[in-house]
């Protein structure tokens, strides 16, 4: 069976102050469906870049990235957008909620883009908010909620389209330790219940300890991998 996520000799070079900076250096990585994996390493080690490549937010300068059997570099911009909408759920450090929308409307938004009916959007969004313990916050806007609550809304939104893969970039960075632990416990439960693949980028020891598989990065290369 082919791996769900494949990075093959993937390299990425950015420019900073006119000088090239190699974010990834010929990295090879394979993930199977249903894995619960943490990319660990210091800032600048390439964690976020890997998530961006897998999520079709960026492309490698060398090598290739294959997700769910698709070579992402061969997709058009429109096809990449469709791929993200239907296959990938994102959970960002900064939540990235739409401030003028309620929690329920934020969760419904990707379903709206998919053309899901009003009744089904409402049913799914409220079910997910209940699942993350926020049904009573459904009509509140992000500015009326705590950081932990906003992050849980972001999780519900990421799950709304029932994606195959959830990519989480430093999801606990702005949370206190208890809220962060609760969030990772929720991720574990969702992983076990839906067999969704979870891939985190984190330097939080609490998150790293929860990973069933840990890939340690340094200077854009895999230095070590194994169980936590």
CATH number at residue 82: 3.40.50.300
Q: Is the pLDDT of residue 157 over 70?
A: yes
Q: Is the pLDDT of residue 43 over 90?
A: no
Q: Which two tokens stand for residue 109?
A: 């938004």
Q: Is the pLDDT of residue 199 over 90?
A: yes
- Give me the chain's average pLDDT, please: 91
User: What is the distance between the alpha carbons of residues 50 and 54, in angstroms, rounded to a whole number?
Assistant: 6
Task: Give the pLDDT of residue 227.
Answer: 67
Q: Which two tokens stand for residue 64?
A: 């290739």
Task: Give the pLDDT of residue 206.
Answer: 87
DSSP annotation of 157: H
Mean local confidence (pLDDT), 21-39: 94
What percentage of the chain exceeds 90 in pLDDT? 68
Q: pTM here?
A: 0.89
Task: Give the pLDDT of residue 176.
Answer: 84
Task: Give the pLDDT of residue 35.
Answer: 95
Task: Give the pLDDT of residue 16.
Answer: 82
Task: Give the pLDDT of residue 55.
Answer: 95
Task: Give the pLDDT of residue 228.
Answer: 59
Mean local confidence (pLDDT), 123-130: 94
Domain limits at 129? 5-226
Q: Is the pLDDT of residue 225 over 80?
A: no
What percentage of the chain exceeds 70 in pLDDT? 99
Task: Give the pLDDT of residue 171.
Answer: 87
Task: Give the pLDDT of residue 12.
Answer: 96
* Structure-derived torsion over alpha carbons of residues 62, 33, 186, 137, reported in degrees to the nearest 10: 80
CA distance readout (Å), 3 to 30, 42, 60, 115, 129? 6, 27, 19, 30, 31
Give residue-wise pLDDT tens across range 176-191. 888 888 888 888 988 9
* Total structural domains within the chain: 1
């Amino acid at each position: 069976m082919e791996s769900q996520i494949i990075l093959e000799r993937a390299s990425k070079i950015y420019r900073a102050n006119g000088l090239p900076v190699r974010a990834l250096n010929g990295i090879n990585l394979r993930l199977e469906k249903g894995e619960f994996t943490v990319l660990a390493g210091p800032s600048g080690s390439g964690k976020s870049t890997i998530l961006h490549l897998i999520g079709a937010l960026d492309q490698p300068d060398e090598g290739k990235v294959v997700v769910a059997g698709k070579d992402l570099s061969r997709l058009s911009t429109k096809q990449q957008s469709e791929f993200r909408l239907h296959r990938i759920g994102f959970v960002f450090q900064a939540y990235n909620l739409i401030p003028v929308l309620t929690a329920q409307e934020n969760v419904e938004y990707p379903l709206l883009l998919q053309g899901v009916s009003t009744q089904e959007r409402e049913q799914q969004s409220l079910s997910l908010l209940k699942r993350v313990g926020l049904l009573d916050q459904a009509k509140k806007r992000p500015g009326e909620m705590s950081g932990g609550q906003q992050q849980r809304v972001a999780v519900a939104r990421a799950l709304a389209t029932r994606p195959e893969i959830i990519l989480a970039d430093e999801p606990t960075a702005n949370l206190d330790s208890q809220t962060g632990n609760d969030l990772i416990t929720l991720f574990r439960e969702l992983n076990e219940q839906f067999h969704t693949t979870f891939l985190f980028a984190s330097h939080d020891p609490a998150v790293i300890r929860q990973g069933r598989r840990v890939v340690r990065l340094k200077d854009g290369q895999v230095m070590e991998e194994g169980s936590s």
